[in-house]
Amino acid sequence: MEDKKARLLDLRDKIDAIDDKLLELLNERAGYAMEVGDVKKAEKGSRFHVLEREESIYKRLTEKNPGPFPSRAIRPIFREIISASLSLEKVLNIACLGPEATFSHIASIQQFGEAAKFIHTRGVPDIFDEVERGRADYGVVPIENSTEGVVNLTLDMFIESHLQICAEVLLEISQCLLSQEEDLSKIKVVYSHPQALAQCYTWLSKNLPHAEIKESFSTAMAAKTAREKPHTAAIASEFAARIYGLPIFKMRIEDNPQNYTRFWVIGKQSPGITGNDKTSLMLTIKDGVGALHSMLKPFADNKLNLTKIESRPFRKKPWEYIFFIDVEGHIEDKNVKGAIDEVKMASDFIKVLGSYPKGSRLL
């Protein structure tokens, strides 16, 4: 027994020594990061935040990892290291849908880390406005949910905006029932965002058929309301439960367990090539026989994979449609640029929304 206790103490001492070394190395890394910042300041036109550099760090370390440390943990850990180091030079301002603890806020943290400053807005147009006016370095906007489909307002904003897509974030959406009540029969009202209510429709119908359903501006606002009113509940995230101090009555109540929302990070300049990129564009096509075929053929000829095609009524011209397309590759890739140049000849209007690193599903 004594031998096991001594062995345990010895192992803990070794872990403490490694932690001390890690802290020393983190401070050494932060010092070099600050020097990089000084060099950038001296270079006119140099970008302060280089997204493709971050992606190359995550990729290199993940590929280099020999284990047993899990590769899936590398990105979130180094995201916080990079975020904290950047904040020593300049704190990034990130606009997202508020209030605190919305899924947009969670997606923003997933991309930029806890050291960023988050500007909570009331709507998608406000996010675009914050970035366009320079009050935010980036914005994070929802673009598509795997259950409920595209967010049309976000697509429409790009018709007029000059902002570019800089990255995408794929966030698993797991909904919880939050309430101070300990019995379902005592819950009289359930608050949440309309999309969250739709995602949990079957569960609500089976378990709370007696409750009144009320829509909220956001899932986070629903959590705030449920905290203040008796006999109520909210559908929101586990993160919202922690932020607003509400007990979790039931976890994972969404009807579809494979429920993801895709977010776009928007800014004034898209990143360079990472080798694992996606390009988004919008266009209208000239009317005529085979017009849609003429638009799609250049992508096939250049052996490019289209991951999404979405059409919307074009607000500027009645009865015309605007197409939103995602294609694998970067605009600087020869075959991507060549295909888009060909598509321009079959289009009345075309606009590249940005080339950016593909998002990954984090556990």
With a cut of 80, say whether residue 121 has pLDDT above it.
yes
- Split into its structural domains, the chain has a count of 4
CATH number at residue 81: 1.20.59.10
Can 263 be counted among the known catalytic residues? Answer: yes
Q: Give 97's strand partners.
A: 121
Domain presence at residue 255? no
| Catalytic site residue from 239, 249, 263, 324 | 263
Q: In the chain, which ranges are continuous DSSP H helix? A: 2-42, 51-64, 74-87, 103-112, 124-132, 152-160, 194-199, 201-207, 219-228, 238-244, 291-301, 334-345
| Catalytic site residue from 261, 274, 279, 284 | 261
Domain presence at residue 281? yes
pLDDT in tens, 170-185: 999 999 999 999 999 9
Domain presence at residue 39? yes
Contact residues for 187 (Cβ-Cβ < 8 A; gap 6+): 179, 181, 208, 211, 231, 232, 233
Instruction: Please identify, among 87, 105, 140, the residue that sits at the C-terminal boundary of a domain.
Output: 87
Given pLDDT bands bounded at 50, 70 and 90, which one contains residue 361? low
pLDDT in tens, 57-107: 999 999 999 999 999 999 999 999 999 999 998 899 999 998 999 999 999
Across the chain, what does the average pLDDT equal? 92
Domain presence at residue 27? yes
3-state SS class at 313: strand
The predicted pLDDT at position 363 comes to 43
Can 217 be counted among the known catalytic residues? Answer: no
Residues 119 and 138 in one domain: yes
Residues 236 and 199 in one domain: yes
Domain presence at residue 363? no
Residues 336 and 291 in one domain: yes
Residues 8 and 82 in one domain: yes
Residues 223 and 292 in one domain: no
pLDDT in tens, 197-229: 999 999 999 999 999 999 998 999 999 999 999
Domain presence at residue 362? no
Instruction: Please identify, among 87, 119, 139, the residue that sits at the C-terminal boundary of a domain.
Output: 87
CATH number at residue 234: 3.40.190.10
The domain of 352 spans: 275-357
